[in-house]
A and B are shown apart, each in its own frame.
Chain A
Amino acid sequence: MSRSTVRTGDTKKVSSDLFALTYGSLVSQMLKDSDNPEEVNKQLDRMGYNIGLRLVEDFLAKTSTPRCLDFKDVAEKLQTAFKMYAGINPSVVNWSSSSDEFSLILDNNPLIEYVELPDHLSNLKYCNIIPGIIRGALEMVQIEVTAWFVQDYLKGDSTTELRVKFIKKLEEALPPGED
């Protein structure tokens, strides 16, 4: 049996393996460089932000999506983006009464596929790149948000819940700067 026949059907899967393992190696390298998990959280968030700034361009180009009319619309677009880029199909839940806050439930997150967090890293937000991406991407379309994890599967919660809160509409596009 030739080897190549074994793996050809598997190319899609490999891509997410490659991503998950690269991300894991990246986080572990950062932890080696810095003893403080908080520092790593911050760095991951900044990386996510930078990725988000660019990823949104790709998203707009591929989906030719119009402006979001309200925050409900934003939630829907985020759902589409998650599906497109990470193969996650998050559900949108827990809307606040004023409709400026919602949660995304991230099941089957490919990032955490082979991950187990040791006890001494309870401060580490392993997936902290995701809120960064959301923040960066939405900033490019003039929406300022904050995003954070309220539940984390890696820390023993039954699911991963990401909270997104609307801050304000950016009236004039400011040049993106580093924090």
Chain B
Amino acid sequence: MVDDVFFDLLHHEMVNVFTGVPCNEASAEMNVSKLEQIGFMTGYRLSEKATKDCQRFKDELDVMKFICKEFWSSLFKKQIDNLRTNHQGVYVLLDNKFRFLTQITTSKQYMEILPKYLAFTCGLIRGALSNLGVVSVVTGEVVQSPSCRFQVQVQRS
């Protein structure tokens, strides 16, 4: 069993390494996408283990519910607080107390540096969905720390 503090510090350090000193805007973006990629790989593999005893999912909404409940609680020990959808492939997941943000700040002062702490988790969601057959684009947005919103846009071919 690995302690949560240890994981939080690893995440923090990962964010530091990949987004530490951006030389310019392009490379900063590139580095955030690496963080997202790490999340993707992790989420992809985790969902495989997490669903091994599950029944088959009925539809896309069922998959999303799984992500919001079981998957999220296995990662962050709480469920997503609110899930909304327009029934056309856009889902909005609201977490009122996002773990990585509660460890950092709850003030408005550092709003502009907070998005990079969401990149890894965006990747986690995208990776898990992708392994469950849903191709998507996931973006994160801080509403007011520690509350944040993840938007999942399902890509249909």
Contacts and interface: CB of A to CB of B under 8 A. Distances in A.
Interface of A: 1, 3-4, 6-7, 10-26, 28-29, 33, 43, 47, 50-51, 54-55, 58, 84-87, 110, 114
A86 B70 contact: no
B7 A15 contact: yes
Contacts of A84: 3
Interface stretch (B34-42, B89-97, B107-115, B145-153): B34-42
Given A11-B74, A51-B9, A85-B5, A4 B45 contact: no
11 contacts: A21-B46, A24-B42, A25-B39, A47-B10, A47-B17, A50-B16, A51-B6, A55-B5, A58-B5, A86-B2, A110-B1
Given A3-B70, A26-B38, A29-B38, A47 B13 contact: yes
Nearest to B48: A21
B118 to A, nearest CB: 15
A87 B9 contact: no
Contact of B74 (A10, A22, A25, A114): A10
A37 to B, nearest CB: 17
A71 B150 CA distance: 49
Given A14-B46, A25-B38, A86-B2, 8 more contacts: A3-B70, A7-B50, A18-B46, A18-B74, A22-B38, A23-B10, A26-B14, A55-B9
A29 B13 contact: no
Nearest to A1: B55
Interface in B58-84: 66, 69-70, 73-75, 77
The 6 closest A-B pairs by CB, nearest first: A25-B41, A87-B1, A19-B2, A14-B74, A16-B2, A85-B3
B87 interface: no
Contact of A19 (B7, B45, B120): B7
A19 B10 contact: yes
A58 B7 CA distance: 13
B10 A51 contact: yes
Nearest to A43: B17
A128 to B, nearest CB: 13
A14 B10 contact: no
Contacts of A85: 2-3, 5-6
A21 B45 contact: yes
A25 B5 contact: no
